[in-house]
Amino acid sequence: MDFQGKVILITGATGGMGSEIAKKLAKEECKLILIARREEKLKEMCKKFSSNKTECVYKKCDVSNKEEVRKSVKFAHEKYGRIDLAILTAGVLIPNPIETMDSSIIEKSMKINFFGTVYFLESLFSVMKKQKTATIAVTSTLPDGRGLAGWGAYGASKAAISWLVESLRAEAKQKYNINLLTIKPGSVETPMIKDYHRQGSVTSDVAADVILRGIRKEKKVIQFPIMQVIVIKVGEIVPPFLYDIVPISHRKGPDYPEPEEK
């Protein structure tokens, strides 16, 4: 896929990976629609990215609000008459240790990460089905196949994304020529993980390069960094009795917040 001249919608555009992806695409002479909640930041970014060759517009949107998502897609479609590529990166990471087992954390994670994706897929499909070709890249996470102590709410929302996207992928391609791909990052140095030290993490600059290269090559799944991919894949085949003896502090990682018992 060549990005030049394409209409590209990015959610989570104010975040670590989203903003880096937008910055790189701004050099490719595209028409960018940036989406997030922080309007001032979106405005600032569009001002910086707009040139005589790149157009940049923005729309404030809370992805957990179905109506706001519908209006964002409508805004992009009315502005440009098509959407060639959507890169969905909006998301939140909320720890949920067993001591504070709280359904509201799980609801919030599902509402933003999972349903935020579902609402976009729904609205984008209605536009993209009529086009001859389109691509949607959805962000899950690398460890989406196994539970991790302390990160159940986040992991469940991302595992749900991976399942949904893989379930839709063949039909989307065969019936409507829509390419659906899953982005599965390991650790990327962004505001999301600023409080958690993660060994082997990559910068958001590197992550954006890997993601854009994967989209360009029309990959089905983009997973990185390679060392973390290997560790996660090995972890996936370890039997449960062995998996459960890994110390929970190790699974939670350094700097995990110390919860107070409820």
Interaction of residue 16 with ligand NAP, rule CB under 6 A:
yes
Name residue, tokens 């839709």. Answer: 168
Which of 96, 182, 187, 228 binds ligand NAP (CB under 6 A)? It is 187
Instruction: Reduce the DSSP state of residue 258 to 3 states and report it.
Output: coil
Nearer to ligand NAP, 173 or 233 (CB): 233
Give residues 81-120 in contact with ligand NAP (rule: CB under 6 A): 89-93, 112
Residue selected from 97, 152, 185, 225 as contacting ligand NAP according to rule CB under 6 A: 185
155 is a site residue for ligand NAP (CB under 6 A): no
Residue closer to ligand NAP by CB (options 81, 254) is 254
Kindly tell me which residue out of 25, 36, 76, 208 binds ligand NAP, with binding defined by CB under 6 A: 36
Nearer to ligand NAP, 42 or 127 (CB): 42
Enter the DSSP assignment of 256.
-
**From the CB of 119, what's the least distance to ligand NAP, in Å?**
10
Of 170 and 226, nearer to ligand NAP (C-beta) is 226
Question: Among residues 125 and 224, whose Cβ is nearest to ligand NAP?
Answer: 224
Q: Tell me if 229 contacts ligand NAP by CB under 6 A.
A: no
Query: Minimal distance in Å, beta carbon 12 to ligand NAP?
Result: 3
Q: Which is nearer to ligand NAP, 47 or 173 (CB)?
A: 47
Verify binding: residue 150, ligand NAP, rule CB under 6 A.
Answer: no
Return all residues near 109 (Cβ < 8 A) that are at least 6 apart.
92, 94, 96, 153, 154, 156, 157
# binding residues, ligand NAP (CB under 6 A): 29
Rule CB under 6 A: which residues touch ligand NAP? 12-18, 36-38, 61-64, 89-93, 112, 139, 141, 185, 187-188, 190-193
